[in-house]
Structure 1
Amino acid sequence: MAGIHLDAVGGIAGDMFVAALLDAFPDLRDRVLADARAVLPDGYGARLIESRNGALRGLSFGLAEPAHDHEGHHHHGHEGGAGSFLDMVGRIRSAALSPGTSEQAVAILTLIAEVEAAIHQVPVETVHFHEIADWDSLLDVVAAGSIAAALSGSHWTVSPLPRGGGLVETQHGLLPVPAPATVALLTGFAWRDDGVGGERVTPTGAAILRHLIGGEGSGATLSGRLAAVGTGAGTRTLQGIPNVLRALVFDAAPAPAPRQRVTTVGFEIDDMTGEEIAVAADRLRAVEGVLDLTVGQVQGKKGRVMQSFRLLVRPDRTDAAIERCLLETSTIGLRVGEDQRVVLPRRLSTAEADGAVIGIKTVERAGGWTLKAESDDLAGDSLEARRRLKHLAERGIDR
């Protein structure tokens, strides 16, 4: 699982997001471009080209319109047919797309439709998009959905977003920047004012952020080994800064081992024989819910030597474990407390060595895996024989 930080230097739009991610993950280009073409009418396509904005190189992504015919006319037979929410959803769901693309793209589109419906006070089913373009936005939404599906499980963050300013022209006339749909989608996100006006975050870019990051907002950062950087260029030229979105890809850091709540039960014994203590310990280990038990020697008051019992117990089985301690040992009192333990992921498997089947515990650690053969399975007439069997079993396991 990768960690991907979106650095909104110039802002974010759907085409900038797609270009930045395809620059960072070039192996996704064939998939994404094929998905994009699948939802467009005949003659239309997607283009991904090298470009430069300000002093920075990057990629530009966008709609490749039909070529002129011999009379100099465009082929626009399908133009205008993707403007309604239901039309766009129908086209996405009926297209032959890569696994997961349809679900992700429809989810992004639905976010835009829901805020548009709320702004214009109409049912979602009747929404016609007025703050986003037509085929361009369908292209961006599907390409972004294809990327989100391909990178499923990644952790996304974004820098504070440039607010911009002024007015933007839409099918509803002039609207304030950020556009109403953008503001509704990115409530809770951090913004910044860098003094550069214009529309810096589009509704499609906002919906992609909301879909990938949810309600956590922006401003968070990632750390770790930087594995790749991608730059997506916008279509506008901004005064004094490059109009780009950067995608910084970090190697996934291992997730911290989860903490588990446990109950500790402890007591000391000074009037049981060694054999009685061994039997009691074996029986307590077998009690349901007892995760571990240790017995150690301690010195009490007046120099008395005692055996100290310490049990780790699942919280829901604490009472049963206490009752068993009082039954199996001579203690007349014990201590009970709550604690936490951290357990590394592990799996159990078997390996064959010299005809014997040996249980192997494989534990996942930050630096890789460690193996340990089950001691009870190591049969041999000497320590050297048992160690040899252990070595063969651990060497033969497939990690």
Structure 2
Amino acid sequence: MHIHLDPVGGIAGDMFVAALLAARPELEPRVLADVAAVLPPEAGKPRLADVVSGGIAARHFSLAVPGDAPSPPAGAAAGHSHEEGHPHAMPHHDGARHSSHATFAAMRGRIRAATLAPGTAEAAIGILAILAAAEARMHRMPVEEVHFHEIGDWDSLMDVVAAGCLIAALAPARWSVAPLPLGGGLVKTAHGLLPVPAPATVEILKGFDWRDDGIGGERVTPTGAAILRFVIGDEPASRPGIARPDVARLDSAGYGAGTRHLHGLPNVLRASLFTADAATDETRLLDIAFDIDDMTGEEMAQAADRLRGLDGVRDLRLTGAIGKKGRPVTTFSLLAEPAAFDAVGDAIFLETSTLGLRWHAVERRVLARDHDVTAGGQPVKRAHRPDGTRSAKVESDVLADIPTLAARRRLAKATD
């Protein structure tokens, strides 16, 4: 499964949960059971509502406590204070909603003590750990002593646990996210007025792509940022290897709404769930290409040898062509694993004179192969053909030291 997130209005914890429950409603009982296991009875109960935001039907996830207003009206969208997307005000929270144990250690202990679905506690604590690490760096304090001022309320703990529950239920999945809305202005927090995006959000989402759509306010909350970092991992969201698949079947999609009204824009997060077309790490590669017109033959040969030996490079070929101004050029084309893109790109710029790269994702079909099977005392590679037959070939490294072409060919055929 590949899950792609489109933060049209932004992303907060409640929007993430609502979007995925809209896409996979059968997971609702699991999520509600985990939330009930973590929240004390006096905190209230989770509430899922159908709303309309900017003309789009969506779901809204919130905590219902006695005296709460009814579900958001049509045209509204959801979120909370620093966690809900309100750009300039911290709302009043009554005693039932407020948690007095908002340190990282205390919240982690509460989650660990609860009886939760498999994987929920690990994912929820992982999200909290990302938040705690960012806050600790921002305020120069030990992680264990971090106090979550902005997620110190039961509804925010509910969002983290619900998000962890969904992430665990959908595992293993690949995740990607479109560029994030930058927002702007100031947000009022327990530390006073802070710029948008909030410092913790910026710290967490270094390396992600952002866009400015001209709409201010807090568009990505710290909890939303921590969820993104947790599902994407340490790799930037724009990395080709974790981008939205080029070819895939769309299985379902859901929209999660926030409470803030955005002028002329639906305040929703869309989650699209895809099944990739049988693409695997073995079949999915990147074709990285660049042209050289100012290196000698010796220099290009040395560069090709070094690039060919890099981890993650599956193949490299050089072809000649005529470039601009009638100059002869040599095109380098590398097939590389997506995860190796940054390292391979850096090496290309260091080993050659090129000033730029171009790349695209490619899919390949490969036959099943057996390695390290010996015949005649030599390691061979056997390929399984579609008609049930097998072909075999001695590994090329074994042939490298054999003198004469005829001798190498004889040995290559001696596989049975």
Going from structure 1 to structure 2, the CA distance change for 1:205 and 1:77 (only over 3 Å counts) comes to closer
RMSD (CA atoms): 3.2
SS of 1:108's equivalent in the other structure is helix
How far apart, CA to CA, are the structure 2 residues paired with 1:336 and 1:181? 65
1:143-162 counterparts in 2 under 5 A? 143-162=162-181
How far apart, CA to CA, are the structure 1 residues paired with 2:148 and 2:215? 27
1:287 aligns with 2:377: yes
Shift of 1:137: 1.6
CA contact 1:161–1:190 (8 Å) conserved in 2: yes
1:1-399 counterparts in 2 under 5 A? 2-43=1-42, 44-66=44-66, 76=95, 79-219=98-238, 220-223=243-246, 224-256=248-280, 258=282, 285-287=375-377, 289-292=379-382, 311-313=393-395, 315=397, 318=398, 333-334=407-408
How far apart, CA to CA, are the structure 2 residues paired with 1:210 and 1:53? 26
Q: Residue type of the partner of 1:333?
A: A
SS of 1:209's equivalent in the other structure is helix
CA contact 1:188–1:215 (8 Å) conserved in 2: no
TM-score normalised by the chain length of structure 1: 0.66
Gap regions ≥5 residues in structure 2: 69-92, 284-312, 316-372, 384-390
Going from structure 1 to structure 2, the CA distance change for 1:94 and 1:9 (only over 3 Å counts) comes to same
How far apart, CA to CA, are the structure 2 residues paired with 1:39 and 1:57? 30
How far apart, CA to CA, are the structure 1 residues paired with 2:381 and 2:205? 47
How far apart, CA to CA, are the structure 1 residues paired with 2:172 and 2:129? 21
CA contact 1:67–1:75 (8 Å) conserved in 2: no
Going from structure 1 to structure 2, the CA distance change for 1:116 and 1:337 (only over 3 Å counts) comes to farther
Shift of 1:46: 0.9
Q: Residue type of the partner of 1:16?
A: M
Going from structure 1 to structure 2, the CA distance change for 1:337 and 1:129 (only over 3 Å counts) comes to farther
Going from structure 1 to structure 2, the CA distance change for 1:141 and 1:336 (only over 3 Å counts) comes to farther
Shift of 1:284: 7.3
Going from structure 1 to structure 2, the CA distance change for 1:292 and 1:8 (only over 3 Å counts) comes to closer
Q: Residue type of the partner of 1:249?
A: L
SS of 1:104's equivalent in the other structure is helix
Q: Residue type of the partner of 2:170?
A: L
CA contact 2:394–2:411 (8 Å) conserved in 1: no
How far apart, CA to CA, are the structure 2 residues paired with 1:312 and 1:85? 58
Q: Residue type of the partner of 2:379?
A: G
Shift of 1:33: 1.2
How far apart, CA to CA, are the structure 2 residues paired with 1:203 and 1:240? 25
How far apart, CA to CA, are the structure 2 residues paired with 1:337 and 1:216? 45
How far apart, CA to CA, are the structure 1 residues paired with 2:198 and 2:260? 17
CA contact 2:120–2:168 (8 Å) conserved in 1: yes
CA contact 2:134–2:200 (8 Å) conserved in 1: yes
How far apart, CA to CA, are the structure 1 residues paired with 2:146 and 2:411? 59
Going from structure 1 to structure 2, the CA distance change for 1:257 and 1:174 (only over 3 Å counts) comes to closer
TM-score normalised by the chain length of structure 2: 0.63
Q: Residue type of the partner of 1:39?
A: V
SS of 2:48's equivalent in the other structure is strand
How far apart, CA to CA, are the structure 2 residues paired with 1:218 and 1:178? 17
Cα deviation digits, residues 75-98 of structure 1 (max 9, x gap): 946833231111110110000100
Going from structure 1 to structure 2, the CA distance change for 1:182 and 1:331 (only over 3 Å counts) comes to closer
Going from structure 1 to structure 2, the CA distance change for 1:39 and 1:291 (only over 3 Å counts) comes to same
CA contact 2:99–2:152 (8 Å) conserved in 1: no
Computing the radius of gyration over CA atoms, which structure comes out larger, 1 or 2?
Answer: 1
Cα deviation digits, residues 328-363 of structure 1 (max 9, x gap): xx997326999xxxxxxxxxxxxxxxxxxxxxxxxx
How far apart, CA to CA, are the structure 2 residues paired with 1:29 and 1:192? 32
Percent identity of the aligned residues?
Answer: 53
Shift of 1:255: 2.5
How far apart, CA to CA, are the structure 1 residues paired with 2:233 and 2:271? 18
CA contact 2:7–2:181 (8 Å) conserved in 1: yes
Aligned pair count? 289
Going from structure 1 to structure 2, the CA distance change for 1:98 and 1:289 (only over 3 Å counts) comes to same
Shift of 1:48: 0.9
CA contact 2:245–2:276 (8 Å) conserved in 1: no
